[in-house]
Structure 1
């Protein structure tokens, strides 16, 4: 059996717990005001969300077989430079920046969720991308008004509802065709489809930020943390988690401080808070997605 870094919660030992949390989140969203949902989402994104991308330099060091002290500063400067470049792109060419973020994130979300669990005989690129596209187009479709407003604030482009709906249908068909042609793990795939249905209910009833936040933290960041612990420390244990937190602390604090200083010194209209927030997440996603891709393609990823 293929051993992989990815530890999806659709396996029996995790499925019921995560499925239950997802259902509870739907109920929570039905009975709590939007500001409470947004507060919970922001806490999750700023903690687990940013944390799961805060140890990329350690992954690079292992991938390149370098001691952290020898090239650590060079990688750090390069990494921060890419983040700053992402921020600059959002200021000067926001259309290209946002499109790039969505395209990269579609593949990144799919890769994290499915890496090592797809038939070798089929090229996984379209599968990874279509799965991530389902997530994004589901958010854009079922939270159309606020999503369209944020996209317009960032890019100045007004997109019709039909654009997102058609994108969702096409992405789902591509995903479904891959499942059909793979002809394996059908029960596992049915569980995945069930979880996607739960996500749709969440995106429909929760606030945009809470729906995205739950997916980003529960479905993506926590499994990603587990994958990274296995790659860096060869085990997902309490001690490895403590080591991870210590190593990630500096970049995590730097990212939080940078965002807080921006909001403090730059006058941002209240109705554009979310636009800036998502632009910030996008800027730090670019280098992280590349690093995770390198990690999943490393021969070390299947050594366990």
Structure 2
């Protein structure tokens, strides 16, 4: 499965290079690539949190999962209504942690208080590269809620600070720098920075985060006979993937006649944040659990 991840990362690099070298500003092409990656990898990777949290599901445990999951979504939705600026900052923070965590999936680390700092610094570095690389688009999307124009003169220093921090924490934690680290820190940032926003986010979210997470989910659930095999795994992904996709599409469709493009884009990311909030919490627990050798430990 590691080779699958490598092939898709090569594909991601080629996609970025294609847009960079061609100088393409075709929004439809960008949205097309973004949509395909999101629908096939991005959303599905978060569609089996109920199984990764409790593979031996009972009706009672499933109902409990749904209540907690929906409760977290409603709680975060309330924050979007009551304190949208705080909601944006929280979204960036837990996304940075979650994305950064994915870079260390195949390493046995136990750093105590340094561990969240390691994840957050790696995630914020690459997120800042994506957001600053298309700063005008980022400003347009966030403008209804949050103004970050004041950061423009300091964007290089922000990115450099997060880069220095993630290198420092990893070095002082005595975690060796692999070839993947060199790719992530020396090559990927340039590709993401010079690619259009939707392309850089799709490539990073899809091939550097969602796919490695999905492979970890697949490997873990393969320990259980009832989920073993690609066909069974895909079957488990479908129900909640379809519910999420249809729900998001319906809400966006209802707003298409009353909202500007920037507002629609913001609404889309708000919806993504709502399903991401409980997902990040459950996946954090899953990643820590998946390294256990006993498949029936939950």
TM tier, smaller: 0.7 to 0.9
Deviates more, 1:285-294 or 1:190-199: 190-199
In the alignment, which of 126, 139, 143 is matched to residue 152 of structure 1?
A: 143
Compute the TM-score of the two structures, normalised by the length of structure 2.
Answer: 0.85
Q: Cα distance, 1:114 vs. partner?
A: 0.6
Q: Cα distance, 1:102 vs. partner?
A: 0.8
Per-residue CA deviation, residues 46-88 of structure 1 (Å, 9 max, x unaligned), is 33101000111112224xxx63322212211321232233334
C-alpha separation in 1, matches of 2:237 and 2:6: 30
C-alpha separation in 2, matches of 1:26 and 1:156: 28
In the alignment, which of 240, 243, 252 is matched to residue 241 of structure 2?
A: 252
Per-residue CA deviation, residues 140-184 of structure 1 (Å, 9 max, x unaligned), is 221211112222223356442145433322211111112333445
Aligned twin of 2:206: 217
Gaps of at least 5 residues in structure 1 are 1-6
Determine if the alignment matches structure 1 residue 139 to structure 2 residue 130: yes
C-alpha separation in 2, matches of 1:53 and 1:280: 14
- Equivalent residues of 1:19, 1:195 under 8 A apart: no
Deviates more, 1:93-102 or 1:140-149: 140-149
Deviates more, 1:22-31 or 1:91-100: 22-31
In the alignment, which of 271, 275, 279 is matched to residue 284 of structure 1?
A: 275
Aligned twin of 1:53: 46
C-alpha separation in 1, matches of 2:111 and 2:33: 42
Determine if the alignment matches structure 1 residue 112 to structure 2 residue 112: no
C-alpha separation in 2, matches of 1:293 and 1:224: 11
Gaps of at least 5 residues in structure 2 are none
Deviates more, 1:278-287 or 1:142-151: 142-151
Q: Cα distance, 1:233 vs. partner?
A: 2.6
1:199-210 mapped onto 2 (5 Å cutoff): 199-210=188-199
C-alpha separation in 1, matches of 2:275 and 2:207: 19
Distance 1:245 1:91, change over 3 A: farther
- Equivalent residues of 1:52, 1:221 under 8 A apart: yes
Q: Cα distance, 1:14 vs. partner?
A: 6.3
Residues paired across the two proteins, number: 287
Deviates more, 1:200-209 or 1:138-147: 200-209
Compute the TM-score of the two structures, normalised by the length of structure 1.
Answer: 0.84
Aligned twin of 1:93: 83
Aligned twin of 1:230: 219
Deviates more, 1:17-26 or 1:129-138: 17-26
Aligned-residue CA RMSD in angstroms? 2.7
Q: Cα distance, 1:118 vs. partner?
A: 5.7
- Equivalent residues of 1:127, 1:175 under 8 A apart: yes
1:22-33 mapped onto 2 (5 Å cutoff): 22-30=12-20, 31=22, 32=24, 33=26
1:164-243 mapped onto 2 (5 Å cutoff): 164-183=155-174, 185-186=176-177, 188=178, 190-234=179-223, 239-243=228-232
Aligned twin of 1:4: none
- Equivalent residues of 2:5, 2:207 under 8 A apart: no
C-alpha separation in 2, matches of 1:15 and 1:68: 33
C-alpha separation in 2, matches of 1:252 and 1:229: 16
